[in-house]
Amino acid sequence: MKKSIQIMCLFVVLTQFSCGQDPENKANIADSTPFDAELLVDGLQIPWGLTFLPDGAMLITEKSGELIHFKEGKKTSITNVPPVYNRGQGGLLDVALHPDYENNGWIYLSFASEEGDEKGGNTAIVRAKLDNMALTNIETLYKATPNTTKGQHFGSRFAFDEEGYLYFSIGERGDRDTNPQDITRDGGKIYRIYDDGRIPEDNPFVGQEGAKEAAFTYGNRNPQGMTVHPQTGAIWIHEHGPRGGDEINIIEKGNNYGWPVVTYGINYSGTPITDKTEMEGMTQPIHYWVPSIAPSGMTFVTTDTYPGWKGSLLVGSLAFQYLERLSLDGTKVTDREKLMEDIGRVRDVVEGPDGLIYVAVEGKGIYRLNPVD
C-alpha cells in the first residue's frame, strides 16, 4: 500500500500538482488585507538581505558585493566590505545584527568567498563593526570548504535563537550526491555556532571523527529562508526543491531532512530523482510546494498592524514573483494567499521594528507595505 502511495505521489509530482497536502490549501487570487506597497528604496538590482539599525537606518546587501546604508532617503555605500565571489547564486548574501547590537556593535554577513586554495568559492560567515560608514574589526567565523566553481546553492540565511546561538544555512553547492548526507563535508546543512564562531559542545556531531562539528542538521538542499517562531523559539527554514518540492522545515538537533534520498521534487529535465517521499529516520517537511515557488526570505508577522495577519508566515516567491502569506494552525498550513502579484522576484521579506513589512524585490528595491484603513 505504501509503495502504491509513493508511486501515485511521484505521478502527481511529475504532473506538477500538489500531493500529500490539504486539498483546500491553494493560493488565493485576491489580497484580503488592503495595503499600499510603497517603493521606499529604489535603484537596487538584487537586494539579497536587509536589517534595521537601532536608529531606524536600514542595511541592505546587494548580491554584487555592495553593502548599503539607507536612512531618510539617502543611500550610502559602506566601504571595506570583504570581496565576494559573484558567480551564479553566489555573492554578498544575508545581513543580521547581534541581539545585543546596541552594546557590542556586531554585524554579521554571509557571502560567497574565494578564500582558500581551490578555485571558485564557498560560503563564508563573518562579523564586523560599523565605524564612519566603513566595516572594521572583521572576523571570519566560518568558511565552508572546498571551493568550487559551481554557481549554485550557497544558502545562506541567519537567525539568532533565544539563547544567543547563531544559526546559518549553506546549500549543497550543486553536489547533491556527496555533500548533504555526509556529515564530514560542508554543504546541505544548517549550522549552529556561538556568536564569536566557537562551536557549542553539545552540537550533535561534536567528537565524531571527521565531522563538521558546527553542523546542526543535514540532508538540506538550499535553504534561503530562516526565522525564529515568536512563541516557541524554534528555528523555521524553507529550502528550494528542484523542480517542485520546496519545503518548510522546523530545525531539530541532529535531524536528517532527507535530500536527495527523499523529495517531493523531480529533476529539471522531468526525470525522477527517487521514488521515495519519506523514509524512516528522515524528517518530513511541515509543508511543501508543488510546483516550486522558488522561496526566498521568510518572516513571521508578530503585530496587529495588518488585520488577520498576526501569526502568519510570509515567504517571497522568485519563480512566480509575488509575496505569499501562509496562515497557520500550530505547525499546519491552513491557507495560502498571494500578495503583491507580479511585483517581481521577491528576494527577502522582514518585519521591521515599526511593525511594518518590508519586501526586497529584484530589479526594483525595497517596498514598505503601508496599511490602508
Coil vs helix vs strand at 104: helix
Closest to 277 measured CA to CA, from 38, 1, 17, 5: 5
Closest to 88 measured CA to CA, from 145, 150, 44: 150
Q: Are 132 and 144 in contact (CB under 8 A)?
A: no
Q: List, in order, residues 6 or more apart from 228 with CB less than 8 Å away.
A: 159, 160, 161, 162, 234, 235, 236, 300
Catalytic position from the list 69, 153, 229, 287: 153
The three cell numbers locating residue 38:
510603497
Beta strands 107-113 and 35-42, pairing class: unpaired
Q: List, in order, residues 6 or more apart from 320 with CB less than 8 Å away.
A: 293, 294
Q: List, in order, residues 6 or more apart from 205 with CB less than 8 Å away.
A: 183, 211, 212, 213, 215, 254
The three cell numbers locating residue 349:
521579506
- Neighbour count for residue 170 (Cβ, 10 Å): 29
153 is catalytic: yes
Q: Which amino acid is residue 164, in one-letter code? A: G
How many Å apart are CA 18 and CA 15, to the nearest integer?
9
Residues involved in catalysis: 153
